[in-house]
Each structure stands twice: as structure tokens, then as C-alpha cells.
Structure 1
Amino acid sequence: MVRKILRDDQWERIEYMLPGKKNDRGQTAADNRLFVEAVLWVARTGSPWRDLPDEFGFWNSVYKR
């Protein structure tokens, strides 16, 4: 399992800025926090998107988002 990159207090500070929340129009995002964690993982490790661990979801779906 991949360790969490964001603490809960950090997540609470940025959560409202992301689209796809329950009250937003249109499609609701499956897991905004997991998406942000995936982006931070790629930025922190310098790894290519194809090396994204499965815990974050299919790399290509995360990349396209």
C-alpha cells in the first residue's frame, strides 16, 4: 500500500477547490483525494505515469484527468 502524501488537515484546505464534489453539477468524481495523491506521487518520485502504483487506479485514467 502506498503511504498517504497529504495529511488530513492539508486535504481539508484544498478539497473545496476541486471539481466533482457532491453538490457540483455534472459528474461526481470517484475520489478527488486519490487523484491528488497520485499527482503528488508522480511529482515526488519523478517516475513516469506508467509506473503509477495500482493503488491510485489505472495510470492512463489518472493521467488523462
Structure 2
Amino acid sequence: MARFDLTDAEWAAIEPVLPTDVRGKERADDRRVLNSIFWRLRTGAPWADIPARYGPHTTCGNRFRRWRKRGVWDRLLKAVSEAYEGDLQMIDSTSVRVHQHAGCAKKKTTDPVAWVAHGVV
């Protein structure tokens, strides 16, 4: 198990909302695929850079898109929110650094309506 892979408790909340109506050849393990999707979303890396321990990157990308179209992600988020007993729920805690000069950039102070008055007599 990698550092940020799903715990057994998290998996217990998620597994019941995943689709089970599958056809065709045997399906890749949902937990492993979810771990790969979460890894990809957390790192921002391309799908092709998903570590081999998660299986083929095409499987992970296809499953992500298929579940998005079927609304699985909405159900998954709702299930995780209901399983959590706290008062605060946080999806992402990302912070992005701004370029060192961006904080002191000169603000544009032009009047957005000034162009209307130029032709008025």
C-alpha cells in the first residue's frame, strides 16, 4: 500500500456506490484503479505517467471518464461526505505560489464606462 492509497475504512464507504453492472471481460480492480486516479489528480501528472503498480494508464483514464459520464463521482463524493462524522469537509487544500512580482503589480484603474463618454457632446 502506497502512502496515499485508500484505507480500508475509506474503501468501505466508497465500494457500495461503484457500478456493478459490467459486461465483457473481467474488470480491473476498482480499488487499484481509484488509487491510480487519485494519484494522478494529486500529482497533476499525465495519465501515461501513472506508476506501473496501478496497472495500465489507459484503464485508469477510461474508467475516470466513464464514471464521470455516469455520475459515479457525484455519488462517491456524497458517500464519503455522509461517512465522515465531523463538522468540516474539505475536498482540496492546495495552495499555489504567485510569482514574486505579481503581488505588487500595478492595478489597472481605467474607468470601464469612460469610453462611452468620449463621443458625447
Matched residue count: 61
Say which of 37, 40, 48 aligns to 1:39.
37
User: Residue type of the partner of 2:60?
Assistant: V
Identity level (%): 34
**Unmatched tracts of structure 1, length 5 or more:** none
- SS of 2:5's equivalent in the other structure is coil
| Backbone CA RMSD of aligned residues | 1.9
Structure 1 segments (4+ residues) deviating >6 Å: none
Shift of 1:30: 2.6
Question: CA separation in 2, counterparts of 1:5 and 1:39?
Answer: 10
Scaled by the length of structure 2, the TM-score of the pair is 0.44
Say which of 52, 55, 71 aligns to 1:54.
52
User: Residue type of the partner of 1:14?
Assistant: I
Name the CA shift for 1:25/1:49 in 2 (closer, same or farther; >3 Å). Answer: closer
Shift of 1:58: 1.0
Question: CA separation in 1, counterparts of 2:46 and 2:60?
Answer: 12
Question: CA separation in 1, counterparts of 2:7 and 2:51?
Answer: 19
Scaled by the length of structure 1, the TM-score of the pair is 0.77
Higher-Rg structure is 2
Matched, 1:63 2:34: no
Q: Give the stretch that moved more between structures: 42-51 or 28-37.
A: 28-37
User: Residue type of the partner of 1:61?
Assistant: T
